[in-house]
Structure 1
């Protein structure tokens, strides 16, 4: 199921590139979900890449639901840090 989810998320990003701003909440949330899915299958490199993309787009975003998106991307970063054994960094990400 995760493989199928990854395909759908990637397809969503392609569609959003035609219909949304690159910093839209839909794009940010999709990168977040891709990060979670890649982490779930053990691909920490791609999970980190999508977390960074979500965070980068969030920094440039001016949407009103920014705090929820920030919490999502910070929580993914904490999960990645935990998976990599960086427990202090994970705690600091959750502490914000």
Structure 2
């Protein structure tokens, strides 16, 4: 092929986007022992439209301890989307 024989020239332009476009990450952890309860939740999201939510709750008394953690994340960018969720629950019953 001789370059001088080309009859047209097409310029291609690509949108500025990150490959993958969206990401989500969540973590929920709980732990109980006699007299104590621990709960932690983390959520992160990146994209054009994002949503994150975390919820934790602990309860302790002399005989029952409980811990609850929940994390949710969603992200959307055009037709790409990502969703993540995690839940953890611990219960301890003691004499």
Q: TM-score, normalised by structure 1?
A: 0.26
Which structure has the larger Rg? 2
Q: Which has the higher contact order (CA 8 A, sep 6+)?
A: 2
Which has the larger share of strand? 2
**Higher helix proportion (structure 1 or 2):** 1
Q: Normalization by structure 2: what TM-score?
A: 0.26
